[in-house]
Amino acid sequence: MRRPVIAGNWKMHKFIADSVATALALKPLVANANHCEVVIAPVFTAIKSVADRLEGSNIRVAGQDCAPEQKHGAHTGEVAADMLRDAGASYVIVGHSERRQFYAETDSMVNRKVQAAIAAELTPIVCVGETLAQRDAGLAERVVKGQIDGGLRELTVSDLERIIIAYEPVWAIGTGRTATPEQAQQMHAFVRRIVAEKFGEEASQRLRILYGGSVKPENIAGLMAQPDIDGALVGGASLEAETFAKIVNYNAT
Ligand code: PEP
> Which phi-psi region, left, alpha or beta, contains residue 124 (left: φ > 0; alpha: ψ -120 to 50)?
beta
Instruction: For ligand 1, pick from 173, 239, 246, 247 the residue to mutate: most ligand atoms within 8 Å of CB.
Output: 173
Ligand 1 touching residue 9 (CB < 6 A): yes
pLDDT in tens, 115-155: 999 999 999 999 999 999 999 999 999 999 999 999 999 99
| Spacing of C-alpha 253 from chain mean position | 26
Distance (Å) of CA 123 to CA 62, 118, 148, 214: 9, 6, 16, 23
How many angstroms is it from 233 CA to the middle of ligand 1?
A: 7
Catalytic (active-site) positions? 96, 168
Task: Tell me the one-letter amino acid at 5.
Answer: V
Tell me, using a 6 A CB cutoff, whether residue 105 lines ligand 1.
Answer: no
What pLDDT does residue 177 have? Answer: 84
Q: How far is the CA of 196 from the centre of ligand 1 (A)?
A: 27
Q: Does the C-beta of 235 come closer than 6 Å to ligand 1?
A: yes
What's the gap in Å between 190 CA and the centre of ligand 1? 21
* Closest residue to atom 1 of ligand 1, CA basis: 235
* Selection from 64, 34, 37, 61 nearest residue 50 by Cα: 61
**Domains of the chain by start residue, with CATH:** 5-248 (3.20.20.70)
The one-digit pLDDT tens for each residue of the chain (253 residues) are 899 999 999 999 999 999 999 999 999 999 999 999 999 999 999 999 999 999 999 999 999 999 999 999 999 999 999 999 999 999 999 999 999 999 999 999 999 999 999 999 999 999 999 999 999 999 999 999 999 999 999 999 999 999 999 999 999 998 888 889 999 999 999 999 999 999 999 999 999 999 999 999 999 999 999 999 999 999 999 999 999 999 999 998 6
To test the pocket of ligand 1, the residue of 9, 171, 243 to mutate (highest count of ligand atoms within 8 Å of its CB) is 9
150 vs 79, 143, 192, 227, CA distance in Å?
22, 11, 16, 26
Can you tell me which atom of ligand 1 is nearest the CA of 234?
Answer: 8
Residue 231 in contact with ligand 1 by CB distance below 6 A = no
- Cβ–ligand 1 contact at 212 (below 6 Å): yes
Torsion from C-alpha of 79, 127, 49, 238, nearest 10 degrees: 150
Q: Which atom of ligand 1 is nearest to the CA of 172?
A: 10
